[in-house]
Each structure stands twice: as structure tokens, then as C-alpha cells.
Structure 1
Amino acid sequence: MSQRDIIAKLTDQELRKQVMISQFLLVAIAIFLSLFLFDSFTDWMHYFKWDPEEIVYFGMLPGILIVLIDILLFITLPHAAFNDGGINERLFKKQSVGFIFLLSFFVACSEELLFRGVIQTSFGYIIASILFALVHIRYLKKPVLFISVLLVSFYIGYLFEQTGNLIVTITAHFIVDFLLGLTIRFYKGGMNQ
């Protein structure tokens, strides 16, 4: 049975629950790996820098730019190029803005902790960026979606290379997920990205 078949059998509530479980799993993996790869668990703390200017210029603005490019691609390319089997639409379409905010924030934190905070700092930019894209397995058979997530992964990884600040990458990731979640929620024609 394919992943698509399994997901199709889940109710929307079960799908949301599975997404949350997968994100908790990513946090657990990040914590576990950090115990072996860092001298001290507190080594993570120097990757969290509250620098409002850096957060705006390297987090918020790139996040907004990514969303604008995604929306432009959605408008210009065939709808089938963005069809992820309706998963994102099921996750966001009937949800409150508060839920979309919290889910987007949790996903951004968990994925950035693992991929930038642990994998990129330990194994490098290229490995972290490729692994990030591969984790989004449902996009592997959709060239436009896979290339998009791969480019976004490399871009966010580059932002971390430039700043060394997880707050920047969490911000950029959150902006992308939140604004695209809102787009899916409020777009009348349905947007399966």
C-alpha cells in the first residue's frame, strides 16, 4: 500500500495527529543526535540569537519572497504540477488561523532544530539541505514540488550559513508555511501545494 493510499484512509483529524507525531519525532531525533554530536546540550544555545534586524532581513523578507515565488508558480504552471494528493489542503483548508499559526510554528521549529541545528552544524550544508528535501517524501514524484522544496531547503540552509542563527531560519520557515497555509485556507479555487 502506498503512502498516498494510507493517507487517503485517514480522517482529517487523524492526518493532523500524524503530522504532529512526525514533528515530535523530529524533535526527539534532534535531541538524541545532539547528545552524541555536540560536546554539550547547551551548545545549541549559541545558535539562538535575538537580533531583530537579522531576523527581519534574513528571516521574514526571504520567507515572504519564497511565498511570492510559490504563488507566481502556482498561477503560471498547471494545477497538476502542485497536486500533493490534497494533503496540504486537508491540513489547512478548514482550519482556524490560530491552528495554522501554531502548526506552522511547530513544524518550523522542529524541522529547523534537526536540519540546521544538528545536521547542518555537524554534517554540512549540502547534506542537511538534501535530507530536508527527502523528508518531504510525498513530493518526490512531483518534480515541481520536489525542486521547489529542494531549492527552499538550500536557500534556508544558506541563510543559516550566513547568520549562524536558528531564529532566522525558524522565522523564514515559519513565514513560508504560515503564509502558504493561509493561502490554502482562504483561496477559493483550492491550492494543493
Structure 2
Amino acid sequence: MKQSEIIKRLSDKELKKQVFLSQGLLLIVGVGLSFIFFDTFADWNSIMGWKPKQILFYGVIPGLGIVLLDIFIMRIFPEKHYDDGGINKRIFKNQSIGFIFVLSSLVAISEELLFRGVLQSVFGYLIASILFAVVHFRYFTKPVLLLSIFSISFLIGYLFEVTNNLYVTIAFHFTVDFVLGLIIRFKL
């Protein structure tokens, strides 16, 4: 059975539960792998620098730029080219801002911890970026979404390479997900 068929059979509540479970699993895998690959807490301290200007200039501002680019893409391409099967609409529509904030935070933290904090730190930029894109396989059937997820994956990896700061990539990822979630919620 195709993933799209399985998702259509889930209620909105079940779909949201599955999203939280999958992100929780990614978080557990990320934390578990960090214990395997990193010897000391100092390894984490080296990539967890709280540098507000860096987080703003390399995380939040580029994240907003990606949101603007996504809005532009939504305006020039028919919906069939970038629609993810309605999954994001089902997850974010009619939700509170608090729910969107919590979900966007969980997704950003769990995915960036695993893909940048662990995988990119251990296996490098290329492997982590490809794996990040592959995890988002539901986008593979739409050329616009496929190009978008690979571009964003490599951009996030590059931002981590440049800054060596996990907060930057978390801020970028959160900004994109949160603002796009709000756009879906308020149908802007």
C-alpha cells in the first residue's frame, strides 16, 4: 500500500500522533547516536554556541528568505507541482499558534540534532544532506518539492559548515516550518 493511501486512511488526530511519534524517534536516534559518536560533552559544546547575531543572520533571516521563495513558487506553479498530498494542510489547518510552535520546534530540534549535530559532524556534509532529503521521501513524486527539499537540505548543511553552530540550523529549520505552518493555518 502506498504511503499516500495509508495517510488518507488516518484521521487528522492519528496523523498528528504519527508526526509526533516519528519526530520523537528521530530525537531518540539523534541522542543515542551522539552517545556513540561523541566522547565528551565538550564535543557538543563546540557546536552549540549561543551567538544571537549568528543565529539571526545565518538562521532566521535565510529561513525567512526561503519562506518568501516558497510563496513565490506557490504563486507561479500550479498546486499539483508542490502539493505534498495535503499532509501539511491536514497537520496545520485549524491549529493554535502554540501547537504550530511546539510542532515546528520539535521537528527543527530532532531533525537538526540528528542530521547536522550527529550525521554531518561524523560523516560529513554530503552524506547528511542526502540522508536529510531522503527522509523527506514523500516529496520525491513532485519535481518542485524534490528540487526544494534537496536545495534546502544542502543549504542547511552549508550553513552548519560555515557556522559550526547547531542553533543556527535549528533556527533556520524552525523559521521555515513555523512561518509556513502559520501560512497554512491562516490560509495566507
Q: What range is the shorter-chain TM-score in?
A: over 0.9
In structure 2, relative to structure 1, the CA distance for the partners of 1:42 and 1:11 (3 Å cut) is farther
Return the alpha-carbon distance in structure 2 between the equivalents of residues 30 and 45 of structure 1: 16
2:28 is the alignment partner of 1:33 = no
Shift of 1:41: 5.0
Is 1:121 equivalent to 2:121 in the alignment?
yes
Normalising by the residue count of structure 1, what TM-score does the alignment of the two structures yield? 0.94
Structure 2 match to 1:140: 140
1:168 maps to 2:137: no
RMSD (CA atoms): 1.0
- 1:94-138: CA deviation from partner (whole Å, max 9, x where unpaired): 111110011001100000000000000000001101100110111
| Equivalent-residue separation in structure 2 for 1:66 and 1:102 (angstroms) | 21
Q: Percent identity?
A: 56
Equivalent residue, structure 2, for 1:50: 50
Aligned partner of 2:180 in structure 1 is 180
**Could you list the per-position Cα deviations for residues 163-188 of structure 1 after superposition, in whole angstroms to 9, with x for gaps in the alignment?**
01011100000000000001111116
Structure 1 unaligned blocks of 5 or more: 189-193
What secondary structure, in the 3-state scheme, does the structure 1 residue paired with 2:46 have? helix
Residue number in structure 2 paired with 1:107: 107
CA–CA distance in structure 2, aligned partners of residues 36 and 101 of structure 1: 31
CA separation of 1:77 and 1:164: change in aligned 2, threshold 3 A? same
One-letter code of the match for 1:104? Answer: S
Letter in 1 for 2:54: E
How many residue pairs match? The answer is 188
Find the aligned partners of 1:31 and 1:52 in 2 and give their Cα distance.
24
Matched, 1:60 2:60: yes
Which structure 2 residue ranges, 5 or more long, are not aligned?
none
Q: Is the Cα–Cα contact under 8 Å of residues 104 and 174 in structure 1 kept in the other structure?
A: yes
More moved, 163-172 vs 35-44: 35-44
TM-score normalized by the length of structure 2: 0.97
**In structure 1, how many angstroms separate the alpha carbons of the residues matched to 2:27 and 2:42?**
15
Q: 2:7 — aligned with what?
A: 7
Residue 36 of structure 1: how far off its partner (Å): 1.9
